[in-house]
Structure 1
Amino acid sequence: MFSIGDKIFYPMHGVGVIEGIEKKTVLEEEREYYIIRIACKGMNIMVPVYSCEDIGMRYISDPSTVAEVIKLLSAPSTPMSANWNKRNRQNTDKLKTGDIFDCAEVVRNLMRQDRAKKLSTGEKRLLDNAKKVLASEIMSVNGISMKAALKIIDESV
């Protein structure tokens, strides 16, 4: 269980801080919810305590894991489907896991695809979100700005 003040990673949104734990009644059932502030997106979200593991919420990574992720960004791309819909679904599914390595793989592959052949609007949006999510974790773990974290990503791919 997470505590108030913990830095966490929330899939598809990035790093957040648990600002509170509240009890809410939904459908006549009282449950506890984490109140999480996602700073890089300027939003607060409520996540049921009972489902946080199922949705991939986790503590932020340690510095050695982030260093491995940065190395992964310069590794060879993994094969992606030629079918746009299938590729987009696979990439979205990877981002939803909350795994930092999956997120880095999506960023790397889409950035390289964009350089070779421009991405569709949907994939460009997915790439922009994935980069911000990955950068939020690099920023939080390494104690740097968002701009510096995005620069690390761009220079590593």
Structure 2
Amino acid sequence: MTPRAPTSAKKPAESGNRSAGTKSETAGIAAAPPVPAPARRRKVKSPPRHARRAAAASSTPEQAPKYKKGDYVVHIQHGVAHISDIQTKSDFGETQEYFILNFPTEEMVISVPTDKTLYTIRPLINKTEAARVVQKLKEDPQESGANWSRWYKVLQEKMYSGDIFQVAEVVRDLNYSNQTKGISPALKKMLNRARDALITEVRFSLGLDAEVAETKINRALPAFEPIARKK
């Protein structure tokens, strides 16, 4: 029988050296740095409302119109008022001058510091502006759309703006919605307040009686047919 050739024995040392070399080579390779997460964009928020009001109140009072006793003005929140008097009052050792405002449509009297009128009262509109306000009622109304809450907020902002042209837009839009679709009790209350403010300012700016001014506003408002609801 032909003798078998001796098999070569495995060299554990060599195998160990190879594995050791592999480990050393692996250890020598630097690990890839982690990919940083994208930075989040921070939204810059606008200042809160009270901060904006404080900034507005810090404006110089020289910008405010000059008023005198006997003038008719418009208080931003309460409407047309008459400056019945100018009084000086002392409080905690400080002297302050005040306009005394009487409201012809309400039994109310308030006092406003004479140096804080820029964001509290404004002049009554003139005859040209009164004609433009009446014309505003004849323009195409803006509907509420799908976002009713947003529309309600816009109407509120117009009411508190102190701008009679924006108040006229509230009357125009709510009058349309009331005639075509119907509006909620809250919106009806807003409509009545806006109409009263509009009638009063047009009345005093044009020197009209209350009934004549109301008729003028009512005639300017278009009539609309109700919109049939889908069944």
Give the TM-score, by structure 1 length: 0.87
Aligned to 1:2: 67
The structure richer in strand per residue is 1
Where does 1:67-82 land on structure 2 (aligned, <5 Å)?
67-80=131-144, 82=146
Secondary structure in 2 matching 1:41: coil
Corresponding residue SS for 2:73: strand
Q: State the secondary structure of the residue aligned to 2:183.
A: coil
Q: Deviations over 1:69-107 (max 9, x none)?
A: 111100111344644443333222212222121111111
- CA shift in 2, pair 1:67/1:22, >3 Å: same
Counting only pairs closer than 5 Å after superposition, residues 92-131 of structure 1 correspond to structure 2 as 92-131=156-195
TM-superposed CA distance for 1:33, in Å, is 2.0
Amino acid at match of 2:142: T
| 1:145 equivalenced with 2:209 (yes/no) | yes
Q: Deviations along 1:116-149, whole A, 9 cap, x unmatched? A: 2222122111111111111111111222122221
Rounded Cα–Cα distance in structure 2 between residues aligned with 1:88 and 1:116: 17
- Shift in Å at residue 64 of structure 1? 0.9
CA separation of 1:113 and 1:28: change in aligned 2, threshold 3 A: farther
Name which of structure 1's ranges 44-53 and 24-33 shifts more when overlaid on structure 2.
Answer: 24-33
Give, as a single letter, the amino acid of the residue that structure 1 aligns with 2:219.
E
Aligned pair 1:53/2:118, yes or no? yes
Any unmatched runs of 5+ in structure 2?
1-65, 222-231
Partner SS state of residue 75, structure 1: coil
Higher relative contact order (CA 8 A, sep 6+): 1
Q: Which moved more, 1:18-27 or 1:129-138?
A: 18-27
Partner of residue 103, structure 2: 38
Query: 1:4, CA displacement in angstroms?
Result: 0.6
Sequence identity percentage = 28
**Structure 1 segments unaligned to the other structure (5+ residues):** none
Separation (CA, whole Å) in 1 of partners of 2:116 and 2:153: 23
Q: Secondary structure at the match of 2:212?
A: helix
| Corresponding residue SS for 2:111 | strand
1:24 match? 89
Tell me what 2:129 maps to.
65
Larger Rg: 2
| Structure ranking higher in helix proportion | 1
Equivalent AA in structure 1 for residue 214 of structure 2: L
